[in-house]
Amino acid sequence: MTNNNIKRIAVFTSGGDAPGMNAAIRAVARTAIYHDLHVYGIANGYDGMIRGDISRLELRDVGNIMQRGGTILKTARSKEFMTVEGRLKAIESLKAHDIDACVAIGGNGTFTGASVFNAEHDIPFVGLPGTIDNDLFGTDYTIGFDTAINTAMEAVDKIRDTADSHNRLFFIEVMGRHSGYIALHTAIGTGASNVFLPEMTNSVEDLISELRISAKRHKLFNLVIVAEGNLSGNADELAKIVKEKAPEFDTKVSVIGHLQRGGSPTCADRVLASRLGHAAVEALIHGKKNVAIGIVNDHITYTKFEDAITKTKALNKELIDMAHILAI
């Protein structure tokens, strides 16, 4: 069923930025214009919605942006939107611009805000998964993940050169407070000796035993990838423990940090973001609301915000087992 009541759509980015968000904005705007809809951009996420920082987007406004990292609409986390009063200001801003529906690009917090707002004010929202962590239920991949792991891989490859030159043990920390997707894929892609993930507790003693076995085989250097939210400690903490218990290893630490969020998005992220942005507008036109748009097995899917927010997307155990086997 086509929703003929939708004439004006707003798009915004919220939470942490992710490479590919601009490609998603472009796809939303161009698909909306193709369907003779007016499309508006909300600057600075929910904060901008509260302040009425809303402006119309034309074709020229979204040209030459898909290769750029970050988001042209800027992003922010809004404490005021978490209040009833803040959301009342936001709905008044949308009404002032006659906005009929919104496309929210972000992660778990963005979808939570959209779900609450929809329940209170009954304005159609759809969400696009924009987070480098790849931790949202209802989609195989999130916008920004592919770029982030490629950035991390390139950084680790460079660290490998100095590790090899000096026979060192490097603990390399990547992003992932609650999700080990970046760490696991980076570890496999770089041939790391071990990986520490938030989803499981690794034994530091086991790591030391494995390192000593490797040393007997005359393995000259080791790379250990650590997700920042690892339960056994971050890279610096793990390195200190290993240095204390196994001083024979020349231990160093490198934290890749926010480098993973920046840079020009990969082709995979640009295509993913374009597909999701196009699908978001089509979903609103056909009466869907309060859903997150995703891609599972190369097909567009729709997941209720409630499920996208509350359900967990588990790591692939086969990949975890494979990473351990290939690291011997």
Report the C-alpha gap between 215 and 126 in whole angstroms.
53
Exposure string over 56-85, b if 16+ CB within 10 A, otherwise e: ebeeeebeebbeebbbbbbbbbbeebeeee
Report the C-alpha gap between 20 and 272 in whole angstroms.
8
Which stretches does DSSP call E strand in 132-250? 169-174, 194-196, 222-227
Contact 80, 50 (CB under 8 A): yes
**Which residues, in sequence order, are CB contacts of 18 under 8 Å at separation 6+?**
130, 131, 132, 142, 143, 144, 145, 147, 148, 261
Catalytic residue among 17, 47, 133, 135: 133
For the question of residue 47 being annotated catalytic, the response is no
Our CA angle for 277, 37, 278, nearest 5°, is 15
**Which residues, in sequence order, are CB contacts of 10 under 8 Å at separation 6+?**
39, 40, 41, 42, 54, 94, 97, 99, 101, 102, 103
Which bin fits 64, alpha (ψ -120 to 50), beta or left (φ > 0)? left
Report the C-alpha gap between 186 and 16 in whole angstroms.
20
Report the C-alpha gap between 325 and 328 in whole angstroms.
6
Catalytic positions are 133
